[in-house]
Amino acid sequence: MKLKINGTVRNVDAPDDMPLLWVLRDLLGLTGTKYGCGVAQCGACTVHVDGDAVRSCSMSVSEVKGRSVTTIEGLGTAGLHPVQRAWIEADVVQCGYCQPGQIMAAAALLRVKPKPSDSDIDDALSGNLCRCGTYQRIREAVHRAAAIAAPGGKS
Amino acid sequence: MSARKGPSRREFLKTSAGLVIGFAVVPKTRLLALQQPGAARPLPPPNAFLRIGEDDTVTVLLAHSEMGQGIWTTLPMMIAEELECDWSKIRVETAPAAPVYAHTEFGMQMTGGSTSTSSELDRYRQVGAMAREMLIAAAAAEWKVEPAACRAESGFIVAGKRRASYGSLAKAAAAEKPPSSVKLKDRKDWRILGKPTKRLDSPQKVTGKAEFGIDVRAPGMKVALIERSPVFGGKVKSFRAEKAKAVAGVRAVVAVPSGVAVVADHFWAAKLGRAALEVEWDLGPGADVDTTKMAEEYRAMSAADGLKAAAAGDVGPALASAGTRVDADYAFPFLSHASMEPLNCSVVLGPDSAEIWTGTQFQTGDQAAAAKIAGVKPEQVRLHTTFLGGGFGRRANPVSDFVAEAVHVAKASGMPVKVIWTREDDLHGGYYRPMFAHRVSVGLGADGAPIAWKQSIVGQSIMEGTPFAMMIKEGVDETSVEGVANSPYILATPNHWVGLQSPKSPVPVLWWRSVGHTHTAFVMETMVDALATAAGRDPLEYRRRLLKAAPRHLGVLELAAAKAGWGLPLPAGRFRGLAVHASFGSYVAEVAEVSVEKGAIRVHRVVCAIDCGICVNPAGVTAQMESGIVYGLSAALYGEVTLKAGRVQQSNFDDYLLLRLDAMPKVEVHIVESGEKAGGAGEPGTPPIAPAVANAVFAGTGQRIRRLPLRLA
């Protein structure tokens, strides 16, 4: 089947019920999207489908036919995305495994709420687990990313 | 996502141009268990910690694994401090598995005990200084000046008006004889060490480019999932593979010692194939494990004294004579490390080689285990350490479980394989923080200070049955009693007894971030809080009195209390608790502000003070305190692995809960600059948080909770 991934049409030979996560990782070699739980509990596999954050471990590949999928590899179209820049500036990462999912969730939030409150951030990102406990910096970095992306911001 | 083609790092070391600093140390070996008795220690082969390229890049090779703790940044800081290089030219790689990278204290290549930064402070600075001197010698020879006339400056050697970049000198410097000794900078002259420094691994980790073990790909590599026994210690009686083999993409079904492996083109096929597999098990005694019964047994056992871990005076009569006495029973569950990256290991076997990619904390052990199974020599096992998606102790396994198993699958299937554990496999896979019970009786003297302290500890030994068993002294596994046997409260009590019993069970156990301190700090700090109540004193003031001979405990306690506003009014419904504990060479105090709403404990703010002695990267230490606090909070509020009829009852993050963003308190970290010997940072933030929260819960509700996870009556 044909899939639109990061702006490019890719042909994959996958059964309809194969989760998008494993199509991305094992068939397309896009390993930036992570496996953490397989049951939409941890958010490590978060990607965008038509701009919305989804858990790719629990979405079958047939559901994204004809839709536009963005992974961490395709997030920054011209250099780093404001969320990625903010993540570096706030020194967020530790082991880093959950961070692609966190960043994708944050980027999706900012698309609909360019200036999110703490509770908006809690609502949007509480589905993303971080075992290293970088949550405080994630909150800070989302605000920072909002400032970077704002008109007249630091971009 | 790079496709691998075999040889990489070692080949590169051999062939790359430029300066390669070989550096050998004779380890002050504490752990000799893996070496043959009487065998002469082999001289370390020439190897490299540092490479200066002709393009001016400075590549630092890490002898330890980066698992979030930040050594990707701290070890290069040490080299850069002495090398005087341009920080922007630093590149970082994880070293291969080789004897030269043995831990300076443990004698084996491993990452653990919160030692990666502190144990390398001399070695990595020396490497930087050696390289600097060799670059100076090369420049001096070329310019026909005295080395003393040359100086190193931001990636250049400078003498008068002459100036040459490190890259341009690298080749000539490589031919210089390494200096036999180097003088390291005085601490007051440090420009990089001790300064908050941002992580060097962020760019690749925010773009998805960082390669974890689970991301490794090699030509023809298959993915395998293993059906393991539903209870610990069970053996395969028989299996039928027909249905599994009928699943599209499944290439092989093979028996391995831990179960039956389904090898497929990709994870999804392996998962479907495994679900179709039919296995009959010989369960064995593992089927009888019941954690409710175990907890009852441990509690009953804790009435006995056990083997001596610490003693002074005569505790029995002293307890009997005390005017005030506090008795308490404690219980702690099994805990899973639950790293975000589930366990995995990739293996490619050749006729006389094994190539392995994995996120491991224990290269030396894994290399030896793999060699034995593959039938090759340890040096023929090329072990590539990737980034670790969390370690917390689980990836330092004395029996190399996840590596050994993957080598078995590669051998049995004859295919290059990546064994992936599902989240459920990972959570069911054992090697938990052991269950523990403590029974404590303390008698107070007329002044309110303890005159008798008796503590009986019951729990499985982590070291027993492993190559580390020689660390068990007279039956006492130090990791079971650390934080009690050496507690300043107990040492200040004239009559005390600390006893240990180490029952066995089929459930494998392991070190879990802060090891014994995960339970001992909770007991000590909630107990002292209860003693303060019994003595009618404020918890801070009471600790001050008991810790008179423990200045570093006191230092962090006072700082955390002051920054938290101890004693000042709080908003209605908020309560404070504090705790102070030393572990891994560092001292940490934490003050937690909590509320209890509708029976649920919510932590709003944590103020933390740490004295880790010489602090290499304050930004990293702050991050590690935040991290340790969250890790400890997950355990305090939710963490519990239970077994019934031998089956682990939790299976994923919907029933093994971790702290989420919406429950994250505000964490403030303050660093005491004591200038003492460098201590750890990865683990010491974890032990104080559970007791600090429990003490705050007592302040708010009057309930002394003595079991984890914290549950209100």
Nearest CB partner across the interface for A93, out of B206, B215, B217:
B206
Written as six digits, the tokens of B167 are 């890259």
pLDDT computed for residue B178 by the predictor: 84
Give the CA-trace dihedral at B227, B231, B237, B243, to 10 degrees.
-30
Q: Which residues of B519-531 are buried (b: 16+ CB within 10 A; e: fewer)?
A: bbbbbbbbbbbbb
Q: Round to whole Å and give the CA distance between B138 and B488.
A: 54
How many Cβ atoms sit within 10 Å of the Cβ of residue B666?
A: 12
Average pLDDT, whole number, for chain B?
Answer: 93
Q: Round to whole Å and give the CA distance between B100 and B96.
A: 10
Q: Which residues contact B499 (CB under 8 A, 6 or more apart)?
A: B304, B305, B306, B307, B308, B309, B455, B456, B457
List the Cα angle B204/B207/B211 in 5-degree steps. 50
pLDDT over threshold 50, residue B17: no
Residue B667 with chain A: CB contacts under 8 Å = 136
Nearest CB partner across the interface for B223, out of A26, A92, A126:
A26
Nearest CB partner across the interface for B198, out of A91, A125, A126:
A91
Cα separation values, A133 from A31, A121, A140, B195, B308, Å = 23, 16, 13, 23, 38
- Residue range B42-53: mean pLDDT, rounded: 58
Strands (E), B445-539: 450-459, 495-501
Indicate which of A131, A137, A140, A144 best probes the interface with B, i.e. most B CBs within 10 Å of its own CB.
Answer: A131
Cα separation values, B241 from B228, B279, B418, Å = 15, 9, 20
Report which DSSP code applies to B286. Answer: G
A71 touches chain B (CB under 8 A): yes
Written as six digits, the tokens of B628 are 């340790």
Residue A25's closest chain B neighbor by CA?
B215
Cα separation values, B380 from B351, B405, B538, B647, B698, Å = 10, 18, 62, 39, 58
Residue by residue, DSSP assigns B355-408 as: EEEE--S-HHHHHHHHHHHHTS-GGGEEEEE-B-S--TTTT--TT-HHHHHHHH
What are the beta bridge partners of residue B326? B442
Helix (H, G, I), strand (E, B) or coil at A138: helix
Q: Which amino acid is at B569?
A: P
Contact call for B339 and A95, based on CB within 8 A? yes
Written as six digits, the tokens of B604 are 């709003």
pLDDT over threshold 80, residue B44: no
Q: Which amino acid is at B555?
A: G
What are the beta bridge partners of residue B441? B327, B454
Nearest Cα residue to B365 out of B339, B340, B313, B400: B400
Contact B242, B437 (CB under 8 A): no
Q: Round to whole Å and give the CA distance between B490 and B559.
A: 23
The string of pLDDT tens digits covering residues B123-157 is 999 999 999 999 999 999 999 999 999 999 999 99
Give the CA-trace dihedral at B160, B162, B165, B166, to 10 degrees.
-60
Which of A:74-93 have CB within 8 Å of B?
75-76, 80, 84, 87-88, 91-93
pLDDT computed for residue B179 by the predictor: 87
List the Cα angle B277/B424/B385 in 5-degree steps. 100
Which helix (H) or strand (E) segment holds residue B258: the answer is none
The string of pLDDT tens digits covering residues B51-79 is 999 999 999 999 999 999 999 999 999 99
pLDDT over threshold 90, residue B700: yes
The distance in angstroms from the start CA to the end CA of chain B is: 51
Nearest CB partner across the interface for A29, out of B206, B217, B667:
B217
Which of A:45-64 have CB within 8 Å of B?
none
A102 touches chain B (CB under 8 A): no
Strands (E), B622-678: 643-644, 647-648, 666-671
Contact call for B267 and A136, based on CB within 8 A? no
Top-confidence residue, B33 or B117: B117
Residue A17's closest chain B neighbor by CA?
B268
Pairing of strands B666-671, B600-611: parallel
- Residue range B587-616: mean pLDDT, rounded: 97
Q: Which residues contact B657 (CB under 8 A, 6 or more apart)?
A: B634, B637, B638, B639
Q: Which amino acid is at A94?
A: Q
Residue A41's closest chain B neighbor by CA?
B653
List the Cα angle A140/A94/B345 in 5-degree steps. 145
pLDDT computed for residue B3 by the predictor: 42
The string of pLDDT tens digits covering residues B453-482 is 999 999 999 999 888 888 899 999 999 999
How do the pLDDT tens digits run along chain A, 155 residues long? 999 999 999 999 999 999 999 999 999 999 999 999 999 999 999 999 999 999 999 999 999 999 999 999 999 877 999 999 999 999 999 999 999 999 999 999 999 999 999 999 999 999 999 999 999 999 999 999 999 999 887 54
Q: Is the dihedral of CA B5, B10, B14, B16 positive or negative?
A: positive
What would you report as the CA-atom Rg of chain A, rounded to the nearest whole angstrom? 15
pLDDT over threshold 70, residue B11: no
Nearest Cα residue to B279 out of B334, B315, B242, B252: B242
Nearest CB partner across the interface for A99, out of B206, B223, B267:
B206
Q: Does ipTM top 0.90?
A: yes
Residue A92 with chain B: CB contacts under 8 Å = 202, 206
pLDDT over threshold 70, residue B221: yes
Contact call for A132 and B342, based on CB within 8 A? no
Contact B686, B632 (CB under 8 A): yes
Q: Round to whole Å and give the CA distance between B5 and B14.
A: 17
Which residue, chain included where needed, has tokens 């699958």?
B409
Length in residues, chain B: 713
pLDDT over threshold 60, residue B35: no
Residue A130 with chain B: CB contacts under 8 Å = 340, 630, 661
Q: Round to whole Å and give the CA distance between B508 and B460.
A: 9
Contact call for B208 and A19, based on CB within 8 A? no
Q: Please tell me the distance in Å from A109's CA to the nearest CA on chain B.
A: 15
pLDDT computed for residue A77 by the predictor: 76
pLDDT computed for residue B20 by the predictor: 59
Percentage of residues of chain B with pLDDT beyond 90: 89
CB–CB contacts below 8 A, A to B: 184
Q: Which residues of B422-451 are buried (b: 16+ CB within 10 A; e: fewer)?
A: bbbbbbbbbbbbbbbbbbbbbbbbeebbbb
pLDDT over threshold 50, residue B547: yes
